[in-house]
Amino acid sequence: MKTVYNDKHVQHAASHEFFRGRLVPAFEIPARADYVLHTLQASDLGPIMAPQDQGLQALARVHAPAYLDFLSGAWGEWQRLGGEGDAFPAVWPVRSLRADVLPQSFAARMGLFSMDSGTPLTAGAWPAAYWGAQCSLTGLDLVLAGERSAYVLSRPPGHHAGADFFGGYCFVNNAAVAAQAALDRGLKKVAILDVDYHHGNGTQAIFYERADVFFASIHGDPMTEYPFFLGHADETGAGAGLGFNANFPLPAGASNALWFERLDAALARLQAYAPELLIVSLGVDTYGGDPISHFHLDRPEFARLGQRLQRFGAPTLFLQEGGYATEAIGHNVLAVLRGFESGA
């Protein structure tokens, strides 16, 4: 299996974040990708390659132009204002406040284009996110050219980013960019399976009223787990997309047996949809030792996940999402990819 690696990820290196109201050392750090890279380099999985730059057009197919314009220039603006350290949003246009007017204030636009205070805007956030999307597009090129699968090793992750907001460590939604690009290149039906501990709210929202992308997610129950406000089982799509969204929330501490029951249920829905491409938002924060998550998967379960995905039978693009047990992430990712390669 070929890996597309985003070496620009190191430019996005936050020192701290706000986690449920407290300022704590950042969980989403360069070492996450470094450990995966080193593990892959020591394996015989396959070649590791650089992405090709395909420009902004594919990103603009899923993200609002005003949002991309803000994101690409935000760090420079923050510096011109004399900002010190990473930038954090502090105010949001909730409910009765207006979100249809673009304010002049940088602080106001930070809030307009964000969903939480836990996602630091760093000097390298935009280049890291931009090149992550290019990695996703390059991985898609490999699969559409005939590769059975490809793996995209990048950070920051992407599945919490919506059409016009960042959050949950995510700035550009790589899964959505790849899915839309696949459709633009002639595919008719694409499936996205999100196995991250946290619901991919941004991906769901982007495709919620569409039938050409089926989104399925297994995740921690949003009644208690981030992102809290999306990911419930009764969210099944709307309009043309009704019936093409399937959420499988699980309580914190759910057993591995129950997790795999939900995986089988999600894959059955996707199998009936018969997609031409399967995109996997591969979060391995379902690991039992993850510091911000509450499932119990370990290497044998990750290998089993890979085997199950191989039996699904569709060309498959793996995109790296979460996983914050830094020293374990490489082994967990490799277990999934080796499981996929070996089959059942």
- Can you spell out the DSSP letters for 160-171? T-BTTBBBTTBS
User: For the chain, what percentages of helix, strand and coil (3-state, to nearest 5) are there?
Assistant: 40, 15, 45
The β-bridge relationship of strands 277-282 and 245-250 is unpaired
Q: Which of 9, 12, 63, 160 is catalytic?
A: 160
What region, left, alpha or beta, does residue 274 occupy, with left being phi > 0 and alpha being psi -120 to 50 degrees? Answer: left
In angstroms, rounded to a whole number, what is the distance separating the alpha carbons of residues 174 and 134?
Answer: 9
Q: Is the dihedral angle over the CA atoms 6, 7, 13, 19 positive or is it negative?
A: positive
Query: In the chain, which ranges are E strands?
Result: 2-5, 16-19, 22-25, 48-49, 149-153, 190-194, 213-220, 245-250, 277-282, 316-320
Per the document, the length of the chain is 344
Strands 16-19 and 316-320: unpaired
Is 294 labeled as catalytic in the residue annotation? no
74: alpha, beta or left? (left if phi > 0; alpha if psi -120 to 50): alpha
Gap between the Cα atoms of 290 and 303, Å rounded: 17
Q: How far, in Å, CA of 143 to CA of 318, rounded?
A: 10
Q: Say which residues have a Cβ less than 8 Å from residue 314's Cβ, sequence separation at least 6.
A: 191, 275, 276, 277, 278
Specify burial of residue 185 (Cβ count, 10 A radius: 0-12, 13-18, 19+). Answer: exposed
Query: In the Cβ-directed half-sphere of 99, how many Cα atoms lie within 13 Å?
Result: 15
Q: What residues are annotated to the active site?
A: 160
